């Protein structure tokens, strides 16, 4: 029986092994473990590929959001708006600054609904964080228009959207800053934790770099209290190698997703992912919606197909936010979808046979039940 993992990092490593091994060996030879030329080279390459002035690397994608919020001056008493369906890192980073996360229900593409954004803005609102969930851009034009009208900085959470575009422009370049995670399973993943912030704002960049590095630009001269959040040399060297392949990998995911959408289109119970007009979707996650999710999960598992749920609770209903006492009718779309969403395997190295096997298994499950 085939065994289709949810992601296949081993295949990817095998496909670029000589380059990765050489990059790791160089870092070891140079003992450039923290900071130094490998981190600088990656920051330059990443900023260059995004066409922005600054890339500030850090320890992970959660810190990237936290550092950005601190650099934007967010703190206790403030409110920061984000989407109801995102990974908890987004709202954790908001709370970490002392501000309060305010959730907005989602649209049909699983993103912060621009129609429901304005009603959440209060005099305490100090920033908005759209999340480009699953690998495609949120409604950036409309969200940005609301932010601009209210003079609010927009910080894009691009942890799942490396190089996805909205009307031809890369996500992460629309607002004050874009934040990234290089967690191994991400489209651009390190071999450990890593994160980055991109921006064109010189002053913001200076403050972000300062805060991420113990508040110091010069060693032992601490202008403010900061934190220690660094990308290490090994991860930077690995990411520099992988950066050369990201466009091809993103394209491969997109082709796999189109193929799955086509193969599954005759199963009425399955709602396949839709692509927002004018956007490129990099399919970090291939998320379908179905009734009776648990039975399908068990069936696919028995067929050797791994699945996942992103995420079992929309954040307003997560135990961590029970104290906010949100009701289903506060976030009707996110509430309805949280029990229906299911993520199927998705990675560049998926083969035609694997895609067909996934499709055949889903067809068998539903044909037996009709």
Ligand X SMILES: Cc1ncc(COP(=O)(O)O)c(C=O)c1O
Applying CB under 6 A, does 86 fall inside the site for ligand X? Answer: yes
CB of 337 to ligand X, least distance (A): 16
CB of 302 to ligand X, least distance (A): 28
Taking the least distance from each CB to ligand X, the nearer of 125 and 181 is 181
Residue linked to tokens 């949280």: 338
Applying CB under 6 A, does 157 fall inside the site for ligand X? Answer: yes
Which range in 45-53, 81-89, 141-149, 313-321 contacts ligand X by CB under 6 A? 81-89
Q: Which one, of 22, 38, 16, lies nearest residue 230 by Cα? A: 38
Taking the least distance from each CB to ligand X, the nearer of 131 and 267 is 131
Dist. CA 352–CA 347, nearest whole Å? 12
CB neighbour class for 282 (10 Å; exposed up to 12, middle 13-18, buried from 19)? buried
Which range in 152-160, 206-214, 245-253, 351-359 contacts ligand X by CB under 6 A? 152-160
Taking the least distance from each CB to ligand X, the nearer of 132 and 296 is 132
| Contacts by 250-254, CB closer than 8 A, 24 or more apart | 250/162, 250/163, 250/164, 250/187, 250/280, 250/282, 250/283, 250/348, 252/348, 252/349, 252/350, 253/135, 253/187, 253/282, 253/283, 253/284, 253/346, 253/347, 253/348, 254/280, 254/281, 254/282, 254/283
HEC-encoded secondary structure of 113-154 = CHHHCHHHCCCCEEEEECECHHHCCCCHHHHHHHHHHCCCCE
Secondary-structure breakdown of the chain: helix, strand, coil percentages, each rounded to the nearest 5: 45, 15, 40
- Residue from 135, 172, 178, 195 touching ligand X (CB under 6 A): that is 195
- Residue from 146, 159, 257, 279 touching ligand X (CB under 6 A): that is 159
> What is the Cα gyration radius of the chain?
21
CB of 203 to ligand X, least distance (A): 24
- Residue from 68, 125, 136, 160 touching ligand X (CB under 6 A): that is 160
Applying CB under 6 A, does 89 fall inside the site for ligand X? Answer: yes
CB of 244 to ligand X, least distance (A): 21
Which range in 102-110, 134-142, 157-165, 289-297 contacts ligand X by CB under 6 A? 157-165
Which range in 44-52, 55-63, 329-337, 356-364 contacts ligand X by CB under 6 A? 55-63
Taking the least distance from each CB to ligand X, the nearer of 181 and 235 is 181
Residues that bind ligand X (CB under 6 A): 60-62, 86-87, 89-90, 131, 157, 159-160, 181, 183, 193, 195
């Amino acid at each position: 029986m085939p065994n289709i993992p949810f992601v296949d990092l081993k295949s990817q490593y095998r496909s670029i092994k000589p380059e990765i091994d050489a990059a790791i060996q160089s870092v070891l030879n140079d003992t450039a473990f923290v900071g130094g030329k490998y981190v600088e080279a990656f920051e330059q390459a990443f900023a260059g590929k995004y066409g922005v002035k600054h890339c500030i690397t850090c320890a992970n994608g959660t810190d990237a959001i936290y550092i950005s919020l601190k650099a934007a001056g967010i703190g206790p008493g403030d409110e920061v708006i984000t989407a109801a369906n995102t990974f908890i890192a987004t709202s954790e980073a908001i709370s970490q600054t002392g501000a309060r996360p305010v959730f907005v229900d989602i649209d049909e593409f699983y993103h912060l609904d621009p129609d429901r954004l304005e009603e959440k803005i209060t005099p305490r609102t100090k920033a908005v964080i759209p999340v480009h969930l699953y690998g495609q851009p949120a409604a950036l034009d409309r969200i940005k228009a609301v932010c601009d009208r209210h003079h609010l900085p927009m910080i894009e959470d691009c942890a799942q959207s490396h190089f996805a575009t909205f009307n031809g422009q890369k996500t992460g370049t629309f607002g004050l800053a874009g934040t990234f995670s290089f967690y191994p399973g991400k489209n651009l993943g390190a071999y450990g934790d890593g994160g980055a912030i991109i921006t064109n704002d010189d002053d913001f960049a200076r403050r972000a770099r300062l805060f991420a590095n113990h508040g110091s630009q010069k060693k032992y001269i601490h202008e403010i209290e900061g934190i220690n959040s660094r990308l290490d040399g090994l991860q930077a060297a690995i990411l520099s190698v992988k950066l050369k392949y990201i466009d091809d990998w993103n394209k491969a995911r997109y082709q796999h997703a189109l193929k799955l959408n086509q193969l599954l289109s005759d199963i009425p119970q399955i709602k396949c992912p839709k692509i927002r007009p004018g956007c490129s979707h990099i399919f970090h996650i291939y998320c379908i919606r179905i009734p009776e999710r648990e039975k399908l999960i068990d069936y696919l598992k028995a067929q050797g197909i791994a699945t996942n749920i992103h995420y079992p609770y929309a954040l307003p209903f997560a135990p961590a936010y029970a104290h906010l006492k949100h009701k289903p009718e506060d976030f009707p779309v996110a509430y309805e979808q949280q029990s229906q969403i299911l993520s199927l395997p998705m990675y560049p190295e998926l083969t035609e046979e694997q895609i067909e096997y996934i499709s055949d298994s889903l067809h068998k499950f539903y044909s037996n039940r009709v």
